[in-house]
Amino acid sequence: MAQPFRLPRVSEKLRGVPRVERWAPPDFSNLGSLAAALEKAHPDTAPVAPLRMLGEGFFSVAVATASGAVFRLGTSPDVLARYEKEWRLLPWLGQQELPTPIPEPRWLVEASDVFPFGGIGYLMLPGRSFVPDLLERGERSTLAREIAAFNLAMHQLPVEEARAIGLSAGREVDRAWDEAYRDASLVALRPVLDSQDYARLIGWWDRSLADPRMSQFEAVVVHGDIGAGNLLVDERSHLIGVLDFEHATVGDVMHDFRQLRFLGEGFLDEVLSAYSELGGRLDLGIAYRMERARQLSAFGSILRAWGRGERTAIIEAPARLREVGVL
């Protein structure tokens, strides 16, 4: 008789990295009730209503108050630990000579019945969220250079000071995320893959987790999620703000370029070229690690869908894994 499948225990040594568990996201759809709860928790944010929904990411929703504050409110476990990291990190970053404004944290929302996964708030920065269409309407080469300049300024920050305020070792964080992705995907996809594809998935993870090339980099301070959703631009598409530092680590420079792939390979190349022209160093293995990161990114939605019980996304996941070359 075949032995039942046992989910491996994912490492829990790093706070802020998802454990493989299921959860119910909080319902933030009633903006009136949400505004009242925020104002009760933080009276100095008044007036909160009318509250405006700005968007939803993998781990948070973002809302704007009538008084000009922005709150990111957690919708998944473990995100509060990353908000707490931002709470420590952003004041330190504010003392550095970064070329682009960043948020100044004002409010840390504690976990409660209304906010089960906490939140973080700051005064709204000027500008609008960058969207890919703006590449064709703005000064493309200027924006590429501005992103490169911000990345380089982050990468030149003193690593030991960053570690002293609690930034984790990036490779350990990457490994913990990879283990969480693996564990969730092996459970979630077992019912929807045939035996051959399931064996391919196991083999891919065995090779990926044992790949020494993913650790061959010089660790620097990285934002960790430089992409369209975290960039603010003006009317000419010049970079005037960078948001969301919850994934910051002392880690691989690759993480500050990989999301730019979604704005087009040509634009990514422009940013990389500008980074080198400004004096940034790119090791020979970065292209390989970015390609592996592209494959790994397909597992983020699987972890989220399995955790939240979203079956449609699980059914669609194998097609995405074939597209990126995992299956």
Q: 262-319: per-residue pLDDT in tens?
A: 888 899 999 999 999 999 999 999 999 999 999 999 999 999 999 999 999 999 999 9
Residue at 281: amino acid letter: R
In which region does residue 253 sit, left (phi positive, over 0), alpha (psi from -120 to 50) or beta (all else)?
Answer: alpha
Instruction: Work out the number of other CB atoms within 10 angstroms of the CB of residue 21.
Output: 12
pTM (global) more than 0.85? yes
Q: What's the pLDDT at 5?
A: 35
d(CA 229, CA 171): 24
Distance, in Å, from the CA atom of 228 to the CA atom of 242, rounded to the nearest integer, reads 10
pLDDT value of residue 140: 87
- Which tokens hold the place of 206? 């065995």
State the average pLDDT for the chain.
92
Q: pLDDT at position 21, please?
A: 80
Written as one letter, the residue type at 269 is D
Mean pLDDT of the region 50-60? 94
C-alpha span between 300 and 314 (Å, rounded): 11
The predicted-structure confidence for 150-207, as pLDDT tens digits, reads as follows 999 999 999 999 999 989 998 999 999 999 999 999 999 999 999 999 999 999 999 9
3 state DSSP class of 163: helix
User: In terms of Cα–Cα distance, which of 240, 284, 285, 242 is closest to 260?
Assistant: 242
Q: How confident is the model at residue 6 (pLDDT cuts 50, 70, 90)?
A: very low
Q: Maximum Cα–Cα distance for the chain, whole Å?
A: 66
Give the closest residue to 119 by CA, choosing from 49, 18, 41: 41
Q: Do domains 31-124 and 134-323 have the same CATH topology?
A: no
Quote the tokens at residue 177.
Answer: 């995320």
* DSSP character at residue 116: T
| Side chain identity at residue 304, one-letter code | R
CA 282, 287, 289, 293 torsion: positive or negative?
positive
> In this structure, which topology does domain 31-124 adopt according to CATH?
Phosphorylase Kinase; domain 1 (3.30.200)
pLDDT at 85 over 80: yes
Alpha-carbon distance of 317 to 193, in angstroms, equals 10
CA 102 to CA 242: how far, in whole Å?
A: 5
What does the domain layout of the chain look like in residue ranges? 31-124, 134-323
Per cent of the chain over pLDDT 90 is: 84
Domain 134-323, CATH number (from 3.30.1370.60, 3.90.1200.10, 1.10.1200.10, 3.10.20.520) = 3.90.1200.10
Contact between residue 223 and residue 245 where contact means Cβ atoms under 8 Å apart: yes
Average pLDDT, integer, range 54-69: 95
CA within 13 Å, CB half, 267: 23
Distance CA 131, CA 179 (A): 31
SS3 73: strand
Q: Is the Cα torsion angle 304, 306, 312, 313 positive or negative in sign? A: positive
